[in-house]
Amino acid sequence: MRHRYGHRQWAVAGGASALVLLTATGAHAEGKGDIRVTGTVVNRGANVVIGTAKTVHYPIAVTVKDDSGVKKITDLSTFNTSNGYGFVTWDGDSSCVKKSSTTSVCTGTMTVDPAWIASSDDIDSNKVAGVWQVNATVKANDGDYWISDRVALYKVKRASKLTTDATPEPVAKGAELTINGKLSRANWEDLKYHGFTGQDVKLQYRRAGAAHYSTVKTVRTGAAGKLSTKVTVTSAGSWRWYFPGTTTTARIVSVGDAVTLK
């Protein structure tokens, strides 16, 4: 299932007099009548994170306005803005919730199974992570329609994993503690997790009984995404690694490793 989305050519019934055509940098829209897309929210405002096995479903909610009322979404697609590739499918259905006599929020559900990804393009599939756009066609009760490119931008990211291991445990007060870890991320070509090298990861500490972690230092991942640093222990508490993420890779916080004193 190889797909690449470029500029679309549309055959429009009714002749040129029925068309409204707008052009803008990075966007294209055309249609008939006064129907308009006034807003779009992808995945309730969160990034879409895809791993190596679990099928992911996420909503795209499109706010539409027309003087006759809104009928439905007739087309919904999404893909990477820089290379035009996408591996997400729309089930072809949308549910519209009426907000007023002229405005409705219509939502379509998008689906991706990681097993599809490698066969959906002819490049390294990991390059399809990053900033994606949404294109939508909507229809009004009176037959008006609107075809819009780039009604929303959002990020599709590779899932990540992060571990923490502090040794020795327990440790004497004033002694040195070694904190190891590993940062890895999903590879959409072979559906495995591989170490993510050259990334800045924050070491965080929470004193026993405290409510929050605070950052102690930043360490860069080495070969195979490995992390290692030494700290001097002054009290019992928990240690963890925090990776803030990138445009293409999800943020991740490791499980804390609680260290007691001898």
Residue 29: band (very low, low, confident or very high) from pLDDT cuts 50, 70, 90: confident
Q: How confident is the model at residue 25 (pLDDT cuts 50, 70, 90)?
A: very low
What are the backbone dihedrals phi and psi of residue 13, each rounded to the nearest 5 degrees, phi first?
A: -75, 150
Per-residue confidence (pLDDT) for residue 32, from 0 to 100: 93
pLDDT bin (cut points 50, 70, 90) of residue 8 is very low
Helix (H) or strand (E) holding 115: helix 114-117
Does residue 91 or residue 47 have the better pLDDT?
A: 47
For residue range 198-212, list pLDDT tens digits in order: 999 999 999 999 999
Cβ–Cβ < 8 Å for 181, 224: no
Q: Domain 160-259, what fold?
A: Immunoglobulin-like (2.60.40)
46 Cβ contact list (under 8 Å, min separation 6): none
pLDDT of residue 12: 28
Q: State yes or no: pLDDT of 196 exceeds 60.
A: yes
| Token digits of residue 97 | 């919730």
The CA-based diameter of the chain, rounded to the nearest angstrom, is 84
What is the reported pTM?
0.88
pLDDT at 45 over 50: yes
**Within the chain, which residue ranges are assigned CATH 2.60.40.730?**
160-259
pLDDT of residue 27: 56
What is the SS3 assignment for 30?
strand
The Cα–Cα gap between 150 and 86 comes to 14
| Percent over 90 (pLDDT), the chain | 88
pLDDT at 178 over 80: yes
pLDDT at 230 over 60: yes
Task: Write the pLDDT tens digit of every residue in 67-83.
Answer: 999 999 999 999 999 99
CATH C-level class of 16-157: mainly beta
CA 85/CA 122 separation, integer angstroms: 9
Asked if the model's pLDDT at residue 14 lies above 60, the reply is no
Average pLDDT of the chain is: 91
Torsion, Cα 155 161 164 165, to 10 degrees, reads -170
Measured CA to CA, the distance from residue 184 to residue 194 in angstroms comes to: 5
Average pLDDT over residues 221-225: 97
Euclidean distance between CA atoms 219 and 72, whole angstroms: 50
- Render pLDDT for 137-160 as a digit per residue (tens, 0 to 9): 999 999 999 999 999 999 999 999
- Of 152, 142, 137, 150, give the one whose Cα is nearest residue 64: 137
Instruction: Give the torsion through C-alpha atoms of 65, 69, 74, 78, to 10 deg.
Output: 20
